[in-house]
Chains A and B, each alone.
Chain A
């Protein structure tokens, strides 16, 4: 005699294969994986693009009042430009001579990116005139202005009789220190850092769970309508029970969803984690952008995420399945799925509240309500201090909810056989629910 789980397994296998072998599944999964890897590599790619633009900006410099002094002024400007801490674009200054008009033509012709003309006003102060093709004030102009200001101050000091060797002393940075008024231990600092990491982590995991349920819940709802729109339903319920069918659907489609999910996130995560090495290999340097800091991901966090991920997904899958079994056509699925989406959006806001008030009474209550408990309890585990019994109770309620909604979905599905075509409203469902329906 065939056991019940063997039928469930057959259905799971069929559902999984039917989805994973679809051309659209393969194409979308591949595309999404590529996008995920590209996103993870974005900082490195941006860096590479910047590095590719290594052409230095060449600025022609001429001192019309004293051409002989140009070289010396250039070396002082250079010194300043190198010291300003901006490294993304090199500026090369080169001494030129000749009439300003002719030099401007050369800028127009593209020989130089810009022209810096030095002069002295009647008071003897240095004046600067900076010409570029478009005359826009970009970062290069700002940097040159800053260097020019410095040069002008040095010039004034020299003319006031301050020896250049003493000038270095004048411009030396003062001692400046930052102190905390409250004494803290190392452990305090660590837990504070952990708290911030955990909040970020909880936020990211909440979003992950939210998106997963919203996206793959629709798969489940659509999958349940399939037998009705294919009209194979009567054969299926003759061969197996609706509960076996529902369980098989949810597990099979869930497994296909998980496959797609992992095919997208694993390459992305690997790419993200190995950004340093990738950058080293391709650019010969580490990027400034830090790779995802996974040190905050404690064992508890991983277990809590996996646990609430599976349970939350199962609960919503059962709900989506029940909704799917209310309709007979694929076109109606979107409409019937709206309540679940609202519930999911609601629980996401609840989890945002929990993020800032992890141990408030409202949060503690919401962590038991099945529809929002996956997100809220997950948040509490990560950033709050839930008692072990609270976590256990929340999980128990979730498991009971999953069993209840799977049974309800199966029941509605079975009734759907009698209500072919017509879309049953809740009243008919409860009415027929009292009628005698087999198995």
Chain B
């Protein structure tokens, strides 16, 4: 059970939007699709949904070509948000669910459930234009899930959400995962990707640069990361003098460093104690998705640490 994207290429005139992209999203997974603006995320998603046809390559769900998959199995939250502004919420959602092929009764039952989960029962009979932006986003999400699809394709579902609404959206993702749905979503907000995804793909200028499940992607970088913070010293300058340690970030809340394979991270802990500092954080871990992302897209995204020098090598994950 999986969604397989195999060697898809799509050109618009001179411009190649997607070049030979292949990846697999296992059924029941939350799959993060990461990339900068214009990297080819939306085009890939439209191809997955059979809104666009690729020049070459194929998309299959459980072995069946996506063109043969009933529309009912697909849920789509497009990047361009939009609903009929003058239509009443309930009527609109039932219309869309039925248009996808759901029965009116099932859709009505699910609608009641979701409105309660999102705490927006009182908006049922309001027109969409009367709702706040956050609530409109929730309705937009419901428009993608109310017909009970198997595969949810969401283009930037977290953009424009405040922290409270983002938290509700993350909860809704969890609910869909409990129901065994497969979710593919694009984002450039790495915290959400880190929190939600079992697997990711990073696309850059139409090419896939990294893909695989999150843990193996992180491990494959070969980096060992230590995060340290001390009460009396924010910068911890002596770290620069330790052998085998390269400081990668100095943030107000911690200093992050790469530790060479083979050297023991505990030497850092010992050094800190020798300096007589109080340790509030010592963490041995893996690089964040954000770092992996920046490394793989060549660090062309503006960052506070100026990591534009990071290697551009493609990280291949078996």
B203: interface (CB < 8 Å): no
Q: Which residue of B lies closest to A241 (CB)?
A: B71
B271: interface (CB < 8 Å): no
- Distance between Cα atoms of A39 and B142 in the complex (Å): 51
Q: Which residue of A lies closest to B80 (CB)?
A: A231
Q: Which residue of B lies closest to A431 (CB)?
A: B13
- Distance between Cα atoms of A14 and B70 in the complex (Å): 22
Q: Which residues of B sit under 8 angstroms from A418, Cβ to Cβ?
A: 12, 52
A10-B99, A14-B95, A239-B99 are contacts. A230–B51 as well, Cβ < 8 Å?
Answer: no
B86 touches A234 (CB 8 A): no
Q: Which residue of B lies closest to A435 (CB)?
A: B12
- Distance between Cα atoms of A11 and B96 in the complex (Å): 10
Residues of B96-145 whose CB lies within 8 A of A:
96, 98-101, 143-144
Partner of B82 from A11, A14, A232 at Cβ < 8 Å: A232
Q: Mark A219-233, 1 if CB is under 8 A from B, else 0.
A: 000000011001111
A11 touches B99 (CB 8 A): yes
A235 touches B82 (CB 8 A): yes
Q: Which residues of B sit under 8 angstroms from A137, Cβ to Cβ?
A: none
B100 touches A239 (CB 8 A): yes
Residues of B179-231 whose CB lies within 8 A of A:
none
A165: interface (CB < 8 Å): no
A436 touches B51 (CB 8 A): no
Q: Which residue of B lies closest to A231 (CB)?
A: B82
Q: Which residues of A sit under 8 angstroms from B74, Cβ to Cβ?
A: 238
B85 touches A438 (CB 8 A): no
A42: interface (CB < 8 Å): no
- Distance between Cα atoms of A420 and B51 in the complex (Å): 14
Q: Which residues of B sit under 8 angstroms from A7, Cβ to Cβ?
A: 99
Q: Which residues of B sit under 8 angstroms from A232, Cβ to Cβ?
A: 82-84
A160: interface (CB < 8 Å): no
Q: Which residues of A sit under 8 angstroms from B250, Cβ to Cβ?
A: none
Q: Mark A263-276, 1 if CB is under 8 A from B, else 0.
A: 00000000000000
B49 touches A238 (CB 8 A): yes
B162: interface (CB < 8 Å): no
Q: Which residues of B sit under 8 angstroms from A230, Cβ to Cβ?
A: 82-85
A166: interface (CB < 8 Å): no
Q: Which residues of B sit under 8 angstroms from A14, Cβ to Cβ?
A: 87, 95
Q: Which residues of A sit under 8 angstroms from B82, Cβ to Cβ?
A: 227, 230-235
Partner of A240 from B70, B87, B99, B144 at Cβ < 8 Å: B99
Interface size range on A against B: 20 to 34
B55: interface (CB < 8 Å): yes
B71 touches A239 (CB 8 A): yes
B72: interface (CB < 8 Å): yes
B99 touches A234 (CB 8 A): no
Q: Which residues of A sit under 8 angstroms from B72, Cβ to Cβ?
A: 2
Partner of B53 from A2, A420, A431, A436 at Cβ < 8 Å: A436
Main secondary structure, interface of A, reads: helix
- Distance between Cα atoms of A252 and B85 in the complex (Å): 18
Residues of B1-24 whose CB lies within 8 A of A:
12-13
A45: interface (CB < 8 Å): no
CB distance from B53 to the nearest CB of A (A): 4
- Distance between Cα atoms of A1 and B71 in the complex (Å): 10
Q: Which residues of A sit under 8 angstroms from B86, Cβ to Cβ?
A: 18, 22
A14-B95, A18-B84, A420-B80 are contacts. A437–B70 as well, Cβ < 8 Å?
Answer: no
Residues of A384-439 whose CB lies within 8 A of B:
417-418, 420, 431, 435-439
A237: interface (CB < 8 Å): yes
Residues of A152-205 whose CB lies within 8 A of B:
none
B87 touches A234 (CB 8 A): no
B298: interface (CB < 8 Å): no
B50: interface (CB < 8 Å): yes
- Distance between Cα atoms of A271 and B98 in the complex (Å): 43
- Distance between Cα atoms of A227 and B98 in the complex (Å): 18
- Distance between Cα atoms of A234 and B85 in the complex (Å): 15
Q: Which residues of B sit under 8 angstroms from A431, Cβ to Cβ?
A: 13
- Distance between Cα atoms of A438 and B8 in the complex (Å): 14
Q: Which residue of A lies closest to B10 (CB)?
A: A436
Residues of B38-93 whose CB lies within 8 A of A:
49-55, 67, 70-72, 74, 76, 78, 80-87
Partner of A234 from B67, B76, B98 at Cβ < 8 Å: B76
CB distance from A127 to the nearest CB of B (A): 79
CB distance from A229 to the nearest CB of B (A): 9
Q: Which residues of A sit under 8 angstroms from B50, Cβ to Cβ?
A: 438-439
A230-B85, A232-B84, A238-B71 are contacts. A10–B53 as well, Cβ < 8 Å?
Answer: no
Partner of A437 from B52, B81, B83, B143 at Cβ < 8 Å: B52
Q: Mark A306-340, 1 if CB is under 8 A from B, else 0.
A: 00000000000000000000000000000000000
A2-B72, A238-B71 are contacts. A438–B83 as well, Cβ < 8 Å?
Answer: no
Q: Which residues of B sit under 8 angstroms from A226, Cβ to Cβ?
A: 84
- Distance between Cα atoms of A227 and B83 in the complex (Å): 8
A234-B78, A238-B76, A420-B80 are contacts. A10–B98 as well, Cβ < 8 Å?
Answer: yes
A235 touches B96 (CB 8 A): yes
Q: Which residue of A lies closest to B153 (CB)?
A: A238
Partner of A438 from B52, B87, B95 at Cβ < 8 Å: B52
- Distance between Cα atoms of A18 and B85 in the complex (Å): 11
Q: Which residues of B sit under 8 angstroms from A235, Cβ to Cβ?
A: 76, 78, 82, 96, 143-144
Q: Which residues of B sit under 8 angstroms from A438, Cβ to Cβ?
A: 50-53, 67
CB distance from A3 to the nearest CB of B (A): 10
- Distance between Cα atoms of A390 and B100 in the complex (Å): 44
- Distance between Cα atoms of A226 and B98 in the complex (Å): 20
- Distance between Cα atoms of A237 and B67 in the complex (Å): 14
Looking at B52, B83, B99, B100, the one whose CB has the most chain A CB atoms below 10 A away is B99
CB distance from A14 to the nearest CB of B (A): 5
Q: Which residues of A sit under 8 angstroms from B54, Cβ to Cβ?
A: 436
CB distance from B133 to the nearest CB of A (A): 14
B51 touches A417 (CB 8 A): yes
A231 touches B81 (CB 8 A): yes
A-B CB proximity, top 6 nearest: A231-B82, A234-B78, A232-B82, A2-B101, A436-B53, A239-B99
Given contacts A18-B86, A238-B49, 4 further A-B contacts (CB under 8 A): A14-B95, A231-B81, A239-B99, A439-B67
Identify the A interface with B (CB < 8 A). 1-2, 7, 10-11, 14, 18, 22, 226-227, 230-240, 417-418, 420, 431, 435-439
What are 27 A-B pairs at a CB distance below 8 A? A2-B101, A7-B99, A10-B95, A10-B99, A11-B99, A14-B95, A227-B82, A230-B82, A230-B85, A231-B78, A231-B80, A233-B82, A235-B76, A235-B82, A235-B143, A237-B51, A238-B49, A238-B76, A238-B78, A239-B100, A418-B12, A431-B13, A436-B53, A436-B55, A438-B50, A438-B67, A439-B50
